[in-house]
Amino acid sequence: VPGITEVRVLLTSERRTRRIIAVASGKGGVGKSTVSANLAIALARRGRKVGLVDADIYGPSQPKLMGVEGVRPKARDKTLIPIDTPYGVPLLSMGGLVAEGQAIAWRGPMAGGALGQLVDADWGDVDTLVLDLPPGTGDVQLTMIQKHKPAGAVIVSTPQDLALIDARRAIDLFVKAGVPIIGLVENMAGYQCPHCGEVSDPFGCGGAEAAAKALGIAFLGRIPLQIAIRLASDAGTPPAAGNGESAGPFGVVADSVYQ
């Protein structure tokens, strides 16, 4: 796949410019933020200097996921300084730009300006920014593509038809804008009952892999629907931080992103 070759070259070239890996989904609730946080941590554990940008204006959830809820970023000379997290991945979130609990109802230009403040912050020696986008194909996505030129996009979907139809729209936006698609991650694939051990597929199984094949893009891996992932996320202790060297299924995704 031409896009993937290109991304690998970009990721392994000199660390002069910061590369943005955009994590996108067609709809909300499919685990895009969960994948972003864990991908960033898994990449950091593989030696990358990674920063995390939470650009999901509709539901900035990274501060909670990364265990720094309520910590507000400082600024120096009007430039934001990312917040240190316990996982070696500095973070800036749209949520940190407004008072806590306040709804974010920005119009396009404001959201675009806020995104610029997050991306052009004082990231120090960070060479890769994992950027958690809002779901869908709106203003933030367009600004990000036009102004910040991502090196590639990771698309997250559940195996379900509806989520996949929306994921295709997100893919289409990147492809039309010339942004390489790094690949598709299937999240919430297969649930193993902790009591009887039986595996069931609440959102179907294999749909994202089949869709990736049909679209000619890489399939980056399957992440199971696990209570442990939900609990760890809610506790601000992302599973990729605690799964030994491999970082679990998120490590598989990170290995595909960073060869």
Annotated binding residues, written as ranges, equal 26-33
Tokens coding 46: 């593989």
Should residue 157 be labelled a site residue for ligand ADP when binding is judged by CB under 6 A? no
Query: Using CA atoms, how far apart are residues 109 and 89, in angstroms rounded to an integer?
Result: 28
Give CA torsion, residues 85, 91, 93, 95, to 10 deg: 20
Burial 68-91 (b: 16+ CB within 10 A, else e): beeeebeeeeeebebbebebebbb
According to CB under 6 A, which one of 31, 96, 180, 221 is a site residue for ligand ADP? 31
According to CB under 6 A, which one of 225, 247, 253, 257 is a site residue for ligand ADP? 225
The interface with ligand ADP within residues 179-198 (CB under 6 A) comprises 187-188
Candidate ranges 91-99, 139-147, 198-206, 226-234; the one touching ligand ADP (CB under 6 A): 226-234
Q: Which is nearer to ligand ADP, 3 or 135 (CB)?
A: 135
Name the 3-class secondary structure at 135.
Answer: coil
Quick one: which H or E segment has residue 86?
none
Should residue 61 be labelled a site residue for ligand ADP when binding is judged by CB under 6 A? yes
According to CB under 6 A, which one of 11, 21, 32, 152 is a site residue for ligand ADP? 32
Phi, psi values for residue 178, rounded to 5°: 80, 20
Name the 3-class secondary structure at 189.
Answer: strand
Should residue 38 be labelled a site residue for ligand ADP when binding is judged by CB under 6 A? no
149: left (phi over 0), alpha (psi -120 to 50) or beta: left
Should residue 25 be labelled a site residue for ligand ADP when binding is judged by CB under 6 A? yes
Taking the complex as a whole, the smallest distance from the CB of residue 65 to ligand ADP amounts, in Å, to 8
Binding residues for ligand ADP (CB under 6 A): 25, 28-34, 61, 187-188, 223, 225-226, 229-230, 233
